[in-house]
Structure 1
Amino acid sequence: MRGIDIQALLRDIDFTAPARQVLAGACCVFSFAAHAACPPSAIASLEKPGVALRNGVDRGVLWRIERDGRTSWLYGTIHIGRGDWVRPGPTIQKALAQSDTLALELDSRDEATARTMAQPADPALLARVLSGERARRLERQNSEACVQPGTLSRLQPILQVTALAGLVARADGLYPEFGVDETLAVSARNSNKPIVALESAAEQLKVLTGESEAEEAEQIDAALDELESGKLRGQMKELADVWARSDAGKLARYAEWCGCLNTPAEQRLMKRLLDDRNPGLADGIERLHAGGKGVFAAVGALHMIGPQGLPTLMAARGFTVTPVLTDAQAQTAQPMPALSAPSPGPRAVRGGKAVKGQRGQKGAPAAKATRGGAKSAKAAPAQKAQKGAGAGAAKAPAKAPAKAAPRGAAPAAKGKVRR
């Protein structure tokens, strides 16, 4: 397992994902050792100064695809995120609301998916692949990540190191619990929108393990190298920054700056992760669209790039493909404004309504409460109110009635999805 693109799968393959109730306040999925070097859990990170749920800002890369008189969407996501990325931006919210179905690589809360990923590995396989110095290196990385001994030890070897790799970016405020796919799924469930998986857990596991034990062991060694050197953390942070500013141009040049395609083994892995999977993802999106559904397809952003990327594949299938969010942007967000305190209503008195600024007499009708003074402007015609001595408020000229809008006036223009 090498490169950031592997981490883009973490949101979906994490075996504990169904236990995560990120927005409902559940704790982090792993048990962490209690020492000062451990980063805060995802939920605790929200309490740090400068981190707050804000107005949504458009991030990521988005294309509109149209065919047969219907509109669907391709949204490139990242499977880790920051606390203030939880709320989608207005363009993303509108596109999701207009869609009938949310399509993800996997539905991480599906019970069958959880069982597949949590299935214990063959003990003999674990003994063969995770032994000697490799096992000691993995143990050291577990300690560095504050993962309690034994938490991951029964998993498939490649999943053990994949889970660790997904935790390294916590030091930079990036958490799998805030992965974009997960927050979209929460939004869809809150609005009773169906969620469809474009792949199965078994298919993704096969992609990760490779063709042989030797290949799986090679991927584990490469991942441990990147964890120990700090290279992986830097790659993940850079990819997150590129994604957050919707920089599709730099994303398309991923092979030039990721440092993850230097060997034949790395190139084979990238092909399995992206090019080999993209046609199947495109098939699923096309099938849902042809069935009469407007689809919001949210998959890892690296599935959008290159001649085998989803926008190119969908165009080849007869879709009109239009970029919506693909230019590098200077993203800003303002904190959610505080709700203003409601103005106090009129004070009720026994026997009637109080007149603003006057105290009602106990048991007296409202009209008697003003005896000896000016009558309320509400109770008297405008002419009499102007004659009454001492009625300062009533001396003000009556407001002219508001002009009616001319017949046939056009309503206010509605916002358009940005092209």
Structure 2
Amino acid sequence: MRQMPSDCVMPASTSMAVNAQALLRWARRLLGLVALGAALQSHAESADCPPAAEPVSMDVAKLGDAADRGFMWRIDKGGRTSYLYGTMHVARRDWAVPGATLVSAIRASDVLALEMDVLDPSIMKRLLAAMAPRPQDALDDALKARLVAQIKAACLPEQILGVMSPEMASTTLVVMAARRQGLDPAYAIDRSLSEVGHGLGRAVVSLETPELQIAALRSRTHAQAKEAIEQTLQSLETGEATPLLLRMADVWAESRYSELDHYEDWCMCMSTESERALMKRLLDERNPAMAQRIDALHSSGKRVVAAVGSLHMIGPTGLPQLLAKRGYKVERVEFAPPGAVARQQ
């Protein structure tokens, strides 16, 4: 993992630190929330509730005109070309349709590889089982009351606590808070890509299993889970839950690669030993297995588009660098402004 510059001073604001920690926990779980989008639709009970997500048409015959967003790399080895694509697991409605360059790459591919194919019914079933509440997840009455209050404020039914653990539910609320600014996991590009891949008749595979991903993402002890819930609730109660998420979403939507590449400088997520250990577990320790899986697919004679969260793409332990070490020629595809043509860098 890259070390932070010695002159990078982290903000001292407690609320902002809590916000960063909440975002880290949110990021750990968001892909599962994409799969649970239908279950998390707004139960609007007042005019103050954000509107429920509206379906976005993915007519594959009409794709190809949308603006390119996110981050992309071309990888070549053995006379075949594959692509890496960095996603964002939450988005605005008009970001949901894949851009022309990405669609072209999928059309030219044999396999679409995602972190998890959220449209696979078996994946959904296994995710639900993995995220389900356990007896050891029970909260004290005071903390549960705070959690229920935020669930209601997010226009969600209290019954979600019967579907997912309190820790999972608390980080779900960070995503739900962002809906008031127009961001929704229902519009995530990951889900759209799965629809496009299946619609084009491509093989759609998962790079990770639900069990392995959730096992890596859960807090290790009840005390850690309780602390995570308390910090997330504090960020929601103080209104500090969404600014960092909004910035990350804009970085992705505008393909601001330099800003993404220096994520550690502004994420407020590397200031303590525990935060650095968390980032290592979430990114560095997962990337080698994904790189091996992508390499295996490509080496089997397949042309692959591998689309995973954008933070898996940066630094010396990011997928582009890991695949370069496996003998791939790696070139970043720089997305041009709408109306222009993407070019390779």
The TM tier, using the shorter chain, reads 0.7 to 0.9
* Structure 2 contact 75–82 (Cα < 8 Å) conserved: yes
Could you say which residue in structure 2 is the equivalent of 1:72? 82
* Structure 2 contact 67–100 (Cα < 8 Å) conserved: yes
What is the alpha-carbon distance in structure 1 between the residues aligned to residue 254 and residue 117 of structure 2? 26
- Matched AA of 1:292: G
- Matched AA of 2:49: C
Q: How many residues align?
A: 320
- Matched AA of 1:43: E
- Matched AA of 2:201: N
Q: Which residue of the other structure, out of 140, 143, 147, is the alignment partner of 1:131?
A: 140
Largest Rg, 1 or 2: 1
* Structure 2 contact 167–229 (Cα < 8 Å) conserved: yes
* Structure 1 contact 14–117 (Cα < 8 Å) conserved: no
Residue 231 of structure 1: SS of its match in structure 2? coil
Identity %: 37
What is the alpha-carbon distance in structure 1 between the residues aligned to residue 274 and residue 237 of structure 2? 20
Residue 151 of structure 1: SS of its match in structure 2? helix
* Structure 1 contact 4–258 (Cα < 8 Å) conserved: no
What is the alpha-carbon distance in structure 1 between the residues aligned to residue 216 and residue 193 of structure 2? 24
When residues 80 and 278 of structure 1 are mapped into structure 2, their CA distance, relative to the original with a 3 A threshold, is same
- Matched AA of 1:13: G
When residues 309 and 290 of structure 1 are mapped into structure 2, their CA distance, relative to the original with a 3 A threshold, is same
Matched, 1:319 2:338: no
Could you say which residue in structure 1 is the equivalent of 2:273? 264
Residue 242 of structure 2: SS of its match in structure 1? helix
* Structure 1 contact 16–114 (Cα < 8 Å) conserved: yes
**Displacement after TM superposition at 1:142 (Å):** 0.3
What is the alpha-carbon distance in structure 1 between the residues aligned to residue 84 and residue 28 of structure 2? 17
- Matched AA of 2:135: A
- Matched AA of 1:36: A
**Displacement after TM superposition at 1:169 (Å):** 1.2
**Displacement after TM superposition at 1:62 (Å):** 0.4
When residues 106 and 254 of structure 1 are mapped into structure 2, their CA distance, relative to the original with a 3 A threshold, is same
What is the alpha-carbon distance in structure 1 between the residues aligned to residue 168 and residue 201 of structure 2? 32
Residue 158 of structure 2: SS of its match in structure 1? coil
Deviations, residues 302-341 of structure 1 (Å, cap 9, x unaligned): 0011111111111111110001027xx6x4479xxxxxxx
Q: Which residue of the other structure, out of 33, 37, 40, is the alignment partner of 1:29?
A: 40
5+ long unaligned stretches in structure 1: 21-27, 47-52, 335-414
Q: Which residue of the other structure, out of 215, 218, 225, is the alignment partner of 2:227?
A: 218
> Bigger CA drift: 82-91 or 281-290?
82-91
* Structure 1 contact 82–175 (Cα < 8 Å) conserved: yes
Residue 114 of structure 1: SS of its match in structure 2? helix
Alignment of 1:13-92 (within 5 A): 13-14=32-33, 17=36, 20=38, 29-43=40-54, 55-92=65-102
When residues 33 and 251 of structure 1 are mapped into structure 2, their CA distance, relative to the original with a 3 A threshold, is same
Could you say which residue in structure 1 is the equivalent of 2:202? 193
Matched, 1:274 2:293: no
When residues 172 and 91 of structure 1 are mapped into structure 2, their CA distance, relative to the original with a 3 A threshold, is same
- Matched AA of 1:81: A
What is the alpha-carbon distance in structure 2 between the residues aligned to residue 124 and residue 206 of structure 1? 17
What is the alpha-carbon distance in structure 2 between the residues aligned to residue 55 and residue 416 of structure 1? 13
Alignment of 1:97-136 (within 5 A): 97-119=107-129, 121=132, 123-127=134-138, 130-136=139-145
What is the alpha-carbon distance in structure 1 between the residues aligned to residue 135 and residue 272 of structure 2? 29
Higher helix share: 2
* Structure 1 contact 198–281 (Cα < 8 Å) conserved: yes
Could you say which residue in structure 2 is the equivalent of 1:227? 236
* Structure 1 contact 56–333 (Cα < 8 Å) conserved: no
> Bigger CA drift: 173-182 or 206-215?
206-215
- Matched AA of 2:32: I
* Structure 2 contact 44–51 (Cα < 8 Å) conserved: no
* Structure 2 contact 85–306 (Cα < 8 Å) conserved: yes
Could you say which residue in structure 1 is the equivalent of 2:261? 252
Asked which structure has the greater RCO (Cα within 8 Å, sep 6+), the reply is: 2
Could you say which residue in structure 2 is the equivalent of 1:306? 315
**Displacement after TM superposition at 1:194 (Å):** 1.0
Deviations, residues 66-101 of structure 1 (Å, cap 9, x unaligned): 111111111000011111112222111111111111
Residue 21 of structure 2: SS of its match in structure 1? coil
What is the alpha-carbon distance in structure 2 between the residues aligned to residue 274 and residue 305 of structure 1? 10
Could you say which residue in structure 1 is the equivalent of 2:14? none
Q: Output the aligned Cα RMSD.
A: 2.7
Alignment of 1:173-188 (within 5 A): 173-188=182-197
Residue 301 of structure 2: SS of its match in structure 1? coil
